[in-house]
Structure 1
Amino acid sequence: MGLPAVLCAELAHQRITVPFPVQAAAVPDALAGRDILGRGRTGSGKTLAFGLPLLANTAGSKAEARRPLALVLVPTRELAQQVTEALRPYARAVHLRMATVVGGLAIGRQAKALRDGADVLVATPGRLNDLIERGDCALDRVRITVLDEADQMSDMGFLPQVTRLLRQVPGDGQRMLFSATLDRNVERLTRQFLDDPVLHSVDPPAAAVTTLEHHLLHIAEGDKAALVLRIAARRGRVIMFLRTKHAANRLAKNLLAGGVRAAALHGGKSQAQRTRSLDAFKAGDLTVLVATNVAARGIHVDDVDLVVNVDPPTDPKDYLHRGGRTARAGASGRVVTLVVPSQRGDTARLMRDAGVTPHSSKVRGPEDAELARITGARAPSGVPVTPEAPRPAAAQPRATGRAAHRSPGGGAPRRRRPRPRRAA
């Protein structure tokens, strides 16, 4: 596809030998400097589709202090970290420095990374705006800009911030916009900021993925808690979605009490807590993540074959984004939605609007064989699981200068644990 030999060598080292469709389609045009409009569901390979050309076209240049050369905007902290992790070995191969700036982490460290000269910056809109307002970052040298998960940035209300950031980027640079869906707000961004873009829409929406099954389980309201516990006790990873962070916390606590290794993941958790839970889930130390819509697109974990909508979503896009946590990269998976009698009408409309034709089953109690067949549900151990307590923070020296008066939330500075030094 025209990638530099050093990046091809790193791909081979990572055992990546065949491109996904979105990569095969987008990489040559991106390498040629064309503006790209790409549609593909999560797990389709979008990160390398934009990341490899971005690195190839930036290689050989060096950023000045506070002035990155390439910018990747993403909606969530988890996605920012995953994009950085995915691209870091390739950036290292072409001698480019990466930095990640997101809310919930020390802004002083992020400002220092920019002062040291970050060539490629991966950022969430809010934190990047904060750093620009502080004078710690300027976008006047950015030559390549990527918007990843543009539709979620729109859904989360980030469009005004994104628009303000894009207006600070030189207009003659390259722009790439990738999204799972191309709705009206994404079209507006495209018209305003992309110049004669090449459209690559090579991956079906989540509703059309042939390896993904959709199931509606009609249950009695009084059976719901016991059903959820048995599903959570299955073998293998499962992600369960609820509408609110309080409901997610409550369910995670109930699952732990029933003998299931679970943790809640939502916007009310600190970044350290969210990262710790995701890492434990990936490693198999946790078998259940209990998440909200806010966290839906930040969960990029392979080998998740079941997603459970404990609370059915109200928006079809939320349904598709939740379902995108399974059946990733050609693997198979199931999305199960629990429906009590009062939710039947709304859920039927949701499926129609999402373009989904689900299998419907009536489940008569927690021990119904149909529940076990579809979800792998089984009896929990009943032995309570004690979550690992975070280690206490070590005392920190008092901050001085600007850091003493600024904090990520605008209030008093927080004390933070020192990071352990790593061997070179």
Structure 2
Amino acid sequence: MSDAARADARQQDEAPGDLSVTPPVASFADLGLPAELLRTLAEHQVTVPFPVQAATLPNALAGRDVLGRGRTGSGKTLAFGLGLLARTAGRRAQPKEPLALVLVPTRELAQQVGEALTPYADALRLRLATVVGGVSVGRQAAALRDGAEIVVATPGRLHDLIERKACRLGRVRVTVLDEADQMCDMGFLPQVTEILDQVRPDGQRMLFSATLDRDVDQLVRSYLREPAVHSVDPSSSAVTAIEHHVFVVHGPDRYAVTTEIAARDGRVLLFLDTKHGVDQLTRHLRASGVPAAALHSGKSQPQRTRTLAQFKNGQVTALVATNVAARGLHVDDLDLVVNVDPATDPKDYLHRAGRTARAGRSGTVVTLVLSGQRRETSQVMADADVTPQISKVRSGEAQLTRITGARTPSGAPLDGGPAAARPKNHNTPFRGLGSTKDPQTGSGAKPSRPSRKTDEARKLAEARRAARVRRGG
């Protein structure tokens, strides 16, 4: 176990809470859920609780504070959602005064949680509003004014609505913080604490997080009262159903390898570090005939929503994204994730990897590295408790196809214009805002200036050309 994993486990042991929790259940019917919820679960073919649901729901339904740690994709949404809905059933919200609140770090996760809970809320005749940035604040204010029992929100937009006097939290009886560690990492801690200070002090709080360190531990100690603690999946452990591969690629071959993987028969999620890199690769893939789309924070919310919908329904087969897609993105049967830019943080790696092998399925995660990146990537993998298979690969190789399904793209541009040329003899970077890599050295420095001798020769040649022009030659 890595030092980070030991520290995390030690902090969980030290975290306040009651480990003598209600025993887990074997079926949803054993929980005493409302009949409407049981019927909707059956309609959606959700019959057996996932471990996190079986462990946390008895305590959530009993009104206890809950502290849950589990990997992404483990079924946390229904783990807190069914308890929240059951405890809110039969109540009616006043205008601008919701009764239950779910806070999440990203717009995509908010929309996904809202979509997942809507059928169950509808069954109980509960109104649910999703409150996120990037879309009309007026429409969201109107939804709260009409009355919404459940609000799923990102901290920033909810803060804005509170400032506008469009939302009051004094009647919120159940509050959920999902992906609390990411909210803290993104700088939302001040807004989260401000929001928690406004909900009913005697209400129920449920906090779910991949890790329980630093700021998350502060939230636990300040706002949860003797919580029932559940750790279904240790945060530092990789999913056993995932195969992890590191492909060592030759710089000039990097575009070709990536393009062949993206052209596979099936969906693939490709991660890069920068918005610029995402847009650059997306243009290249589409010019090569690959149905690709970009997802990053520079896109408008309607664009992001449309892109995700197209990826889920298969219109887009290669989703090229920054870490904005590392959490809160659930796509059924997504079996391949590719780190075109290697993750530099073990938590980022695990969350990227968590987009595949969801709900008990299997998947593959591939990380492309240049020879100079191997040491740093190996350390990130070790800190994530991942032992990958390491291979040297080139485009067109059978091994690349065997592991990823890579194939040669059609080459027919999807947006008009010329087909993308296959890169040769240079290491064109995907990442990079600002500096331009020298194609000869591969360094990030600006191209060197001409020498004095070269500059003088150029000036002499220009003078001779001017003299010939004057002579009419």
Superposition TM-score, scaled by structure 1 size: 0.89
Indicate yes or no: 2:220 matched with 1:190.
yes
Query: Which of 104, 107, 112 is the aligned partner of 1:77?
Result: 107
For 2:400 and 2:239, locate their aligned partners in 1 and report how far apart those are by CA, in whole Å.
23
Supply the distance in 2 between the matched residues of 1:166 and 1:236 (Cα, whole angstroms).
43
Structure 2 residue 185 is matched with structure 1 residue 180: no
The answer to whether structure 1 residue 372 and structure 2 residue 398 are counterparts is: no
Residue 43 of structure 1 aligns with which residue?
A: 73
Structure 2: unaligned runs, 5 residues or longer:
1-30, 417-473
Tell me if structure 1 keeps the 8 A contact 2:236–2:384: no
Check the 8 A contact 2:286/2:415 in 1, yes or no.
yes
Q: Letter of the aligned partner of 2:368 in structure 1?
A: L
| Residue pairs, 1:293-372, within 5 angstroms | 293-363=323-393, 365-372=394-401
Residue identity opposite 2:391 in structure 1: S
**Aligned equivalents of 2:351, 2:276: Cα separation in 1:** 21
Alignment partners' CA distance in 2, 1:183 and 1:279: 34
Number of the residue aligned with 2:34: 4
Q: What code does the residue aligned with 2:182 have?
A: Q
The SS at the match of 2:167 is coil
Mapped pair 1:113 → 2:143: yes
Aligned partner of residue 208 in structure 1, secondary structure: coil
Q: What displacement does 1:206 show?
A: 7.0
Secondary structure of the residue aligned to 1:82 is helix
Aligned counterpart in structure 2 of residue 212 of structure 1, from 242, 255, 260: 242
CA distance in structure 2 between the aligned counterparts of 1:122 and 1:205, rounded to whole angstroms: 24
- Give the structure 2 partner of residue 143 of structure 1: 173
- Aligned 8 A contact 2:107 2:133 in 1: yes
**Within the alignment, does 1:167 sit opposite 2:197 as a pair?**
yes
Asked if structure 2 preserves the Cα contact closer than 8 Å seen for 1:267 and 1:295, the reply is: no
Q: 1:268 aligns with which of 298, 301, 315?
A: 298
Letter in 1 for 2:125: H
| Equivalence for 2:60 | 30
Q: Residues 70 and 143 of structure 1 are in contact (CA less than 8 Å); yes or no, is this contact kept in structure 2?
A: yes
Shift of 1:204: 4.5
* Matched ranges for 1:62-101 at <5 A: 62-101=92-131
1:127 to 157, 164, 188: 157
Cross-structure match for 2:413: 384
- What is the rounded CA distance, in whole Å, between the counterparts of 2:242 and 2:214 in structure 1? 27
Q: Give 2:462's aligned residue.
A: none
CA distance in 1, matches of 2:385, 2:221: 27
Q: What's the offset of the Cα at 1:201?
A: 1.1
Deviation at 1:107, TM superposition (A): 0.3
Aligned AA for 1:63?
A: A
> Contact conserved, 2:238 with 2:384, CA < 8 A, in 1?
no
Amino acid at match of 2:350: L
Of the three residues 243, 258, 273, the one matched with 1:228 is 258
Q: Percent identity?
A: 67
Q: What amino acid is the match of 1:377?
A: A
Quote the Cα distance in structure 2 between the aligned partners of 1:373 and 1:204: 31
Q: Report the residue type matching 1:369 in the other structure.
A: A
Query: Quick one: structure 1 residues 209 and 324, their matched pair in 2 at CA, closer, same or farther if it must change by over 3 Å?
Result: same
Q: Report the residue type matching 2:145 in the other structure.
A: R
Aligned-pair CA distance for 1:184: 2.2
| 1:382-421 Cα shifts (integer Å, max 9, x gaps) | 011139xxxxxxxxxxxxxxxxxxxxxxxxxxxxxxxxxx
Kept after mapping to 2: 8 A contact 1:2/1:28: no
Task: Confirm or deny: 8 A CA contact 1:256 1:384 kept in the other structure.
Answer: yes
Q: Does 1:104 align with 2:134?
A: yes
Q: Is the 8 A contact 2:294 2:321 kept in 1?
A: yes
Q: Distance in 2 between matches of 1:182 and 1:229?
A: 38
**Partner Cα separation in structure 2 for residue 278 and residue 252 of structure 1:** 15
Which whole-Å deviations, capped at 9, do the CAs of 1:133-165 have from their partners, x for residues lacking one?
000001100000000111111111111111111
Unaligned runs of 5+ in 1: 388-424
After TM superposition, give the deviation of residue 259 of structure 1 in Å. 0.6
2:48 aligned partner: 18
For 1:368 and 1:14, the matched residues in 2 are separated by 42
Contact map agreement 1:239 1:290 (CA 8 A) in 2: yes
C-alpha displacement of 1:181: 2.5
CA distance in 1, matches of 2:235, 2:102: 23
| 2:313 pairs with 1:283 | yes
Following the alignment from structure 1 to structure 2, what is the Cα–Cα distance between the partners of residues 368 and 97?
A: 54
**2:238–2:350 contact (8 Å) kept in structure 1:** no
For these two proteins, the number of residue pairs brought into alignment is 386
What is the SS of the residue equivalent to 1:298?
Answer: coil
1:294 CA drift (Å): 2.3
Matched, 1:152 2:182: yes
In structure 2, the CA distance between the partners of 1:127 and 1:111, relative to structure 1 (3 Å rule), is same
Partners in 2 of 1:203 and 1:354 — Cα distance? 13
Find the residue that maps to 2:269 and give its secondary structure: strand
Give the distance between the partners of 2:212 and 2:406, measured in 1 at CA: 36
The equivalent of 1:399 in structure 2 is none
**Partner letter of residue 212 of structure 1?**
I
1:369 offset after TM fit, Å? 1.8
Q: Distance in 2 between matches of 1:131 and 1:33?
A: 28
Of structures 1 and 2, the larger Rg is shown by 2
Asked if the contact 1:238/1:305 (under 8 Å) is kept, the reply is yes
User: Structure 2-normalised TM-score?
Assistant: 0.80
Does structure 1 retain, via aligned residues, the 8 Å contact 2:236–2:385? no
Task: Determine which of 227, 231, 254 is the counterpart of 1:201.
Answer: 231
Does structure 2 retain, via aligned residues, the 8 Å contact 1:206–1:323? no
User: Secondary structure of 1:84's match?
Assistant: helix
